[in-house]
Structure 1
Amino acid sequence: MGRTVIPYSRQMQQVESSLNEFRRGLRKPDQMIFDELIRTAKMQVQAGVMASAPYPIDSMLLTMIIDLKKEISSLKYELHKLASRKEGDAS
């Protein structure tokens, strides 16, 4: 018989558990951000299931980066809108 593959969600839990000491070493505000990033990765579990990467941390980090990039892009767009509005008011 072949080896059974550990479900991706279980692999994610293992990664999170292995990072517990790292998390404890962070300052409280950074722990909250760390927890938020882990939640972001968990919300994209279906993407990780589809990836055939041997290390679940790879797809977890990618989903975190994608979410951060979306947030940055949204903030840049809002900033651009505010700057454009301010320029329109100054004219």
Structure 2
Amino acid sequence: MGRTVIPYSRQMQYIESSLGQYRRGLRKPDQEIFDELIRTAKLQVQAGVMASSPYPIDIMLLTMMIDLKKEILRLKKESEDLRKQE
């Protein structure tokens, strides 16, 4: 018989709860950012399931980085558009 694989969403919950003390150690504004990053990872749960990585934290971090990169690109484009309007 094969081994039982823990669902990715449950692994994400475990990671989030295991980082609870770290989160409590952060300043309040940083706690809000931490929570937002966790929400970002949860939005892409389908991609995490497809990756089926033995290290779900890697997938969560990659998802967070992708979202941050999208935000950077959006801000760059917005900045360029503003420069063109001058």
Asked if Structure 1 and Structure 2 have the same fold, meaning a TM-score greater than 0.5 normalized by the shorter chain, the answer is yes
2:57 is equivalent to residue 57 of structure 1: yes
Aligned residues: 86
Identical-pair percentage:
77
Within 2, Cα distance between the matches of 1:77 and 1:34? 26
Q: TM-score, normalised by structure 2?
A: 0.97
Per the alignment, residue 68 of structure 1 pairs with 68
Within 1, Cα distance between the matches of 2:45 and 2:57? 12
- Which structure 1 segments of 5+ residues have no match? 87-91
Give 4+ residue runs of structure 1 displaced > 6 Å after superposition: none
Q: TM-score, normalised by structure 1?
A: 0.92
Per the alignment, residue 23 of structure 1 pairs with 23
Within 1, Cα distance between the matches of 2:3 and 2:54? 14
Query: 1:70 Cα deviation (Å)?
Result: 0.2
State which structure, 1 or 2, has the greater radius of gyration over its C-alpha atoms.
1
